[in-house]
Amino acid sequence: MEGIVNHPTETFECQFIFGVLLCDIGSDATFRAFVNDWPRTRRVVYTVLIIVGLYCASFPGERPDFAPWSQRMYDFGWYIFPEGAPRFDKRWTAIGWDLIATGIWLSPTLQDLFSNKLFMWLGRNSFAVYLTHGTLLRVVLARFIYGFSTSPFSVEKVEDKDPIFHWIPGTESSFVFAVAIPVWLAMLYTIAHLWTTYVDSFCARATKSLEDYMFESEDEKSGAAQFA
């Protein structure tokens, strides 16, 4: 896997562009009417897309050579991904989720399923989750797993020898994981909800105030120029 570098920002931008295109195409009445005129064909297409998408998204993050199917995907990746592209697992996962999203987009039943209040709430707070999860991982979840010691290692002093540094291992208790991860997820979505409710709304008001101020200033300048 030498020569493969990781550029997550590039993958994110491609996903964003794909989402915008999918939204724009889905808003076209002519295209939606065309899709609705072929219900059986649409059913076959979105089923195939979701199955293939799940297969592509299953590409492992490490050691694809451990299984024949992932090794074939890895070999095929050299032909379809540009030289110097991000890691293949990022690329294959992106393709898989794009196919799955397209399949859901083509299925009215799945659209209704994922439009319930729970999924809408999760989607509403998804960007706040993206913004806050890294900090909560390092500050909260890491403490749950590794303890509350601020030292990453313990020092063993040996007479007449250099000290030995032992990294503090994480917990191996299944109970800790069973409790820590649900608690952390609850904290994450609580904070994300508060962020969306208060921080986003504050930023929206601040942006609106700046827009109003700038447009008012431009209008005043235009009026003064006309008067002069």
Q: State pLDDT tens for residues 52-106.
A: 999 999 999 888 889 999 999 999 988 888 776 657 888 898 899 889 989 988 8
For 31, the token pair is 């295209």
Residues 6 or more apart whose CB falls under 8 angstroms from that of 218 comprise: none
Instruction: Give the relative orientation of helices 29-36 and 8-26 as an angle to the nearest 10 degrees.
Output: 80
For 205, the token pair is 């008001």
Contact 153, 166 (CB under 8 A): yes
In the chain, at which residue ranges do the beta strands (DSSP E only) sit?
A: 153-156, 164-167
User: What is the pTM (predicted TM-score) of this model?
Assistant: 0.62
Please determine, for residue 28, whether its predicted confidence score (pLDDT) is greater than 60: yes
For 108, the token pair is 């009215």
Q: To which residue do tokens 């799945």 refer?
A: 110
Contact 189, 123 (CB under 8 A): no
What CA–CA distance (Å, rounded) separates 198 from 35? 40
What CA–CA distance (Å, rounded) separates 71 from 69? 5
Q: Estimate the share of the chain in helix, then strand, then coil, as percent rounded to the nearest 5.
A: 75, 5, 20
What CA–CA distance (Å, rounded) separates 228 from 213? 22
Q: Write the pLDDT tens digit of every residue in 175-220.
A: 788 888 999 999 999 999 999 999 999 999 999 998 888 887 665 6
What CA–CA distance (Å, rounded) separates 68 from 212? 60
Work out the pLDDT band at 5, boundaries 50, 70, 90.
very low
3-state class (DSSP) for residue 153: strand
What CA–CA distance (Å, rounded) separates 152 from 129? 27
3-state class (DSSP) for residue 208: helix
The phi and psi torsions of 114 (rounded to 5 degrees) equal -85, 5
Segment 219-224 mean pLDDT: 58
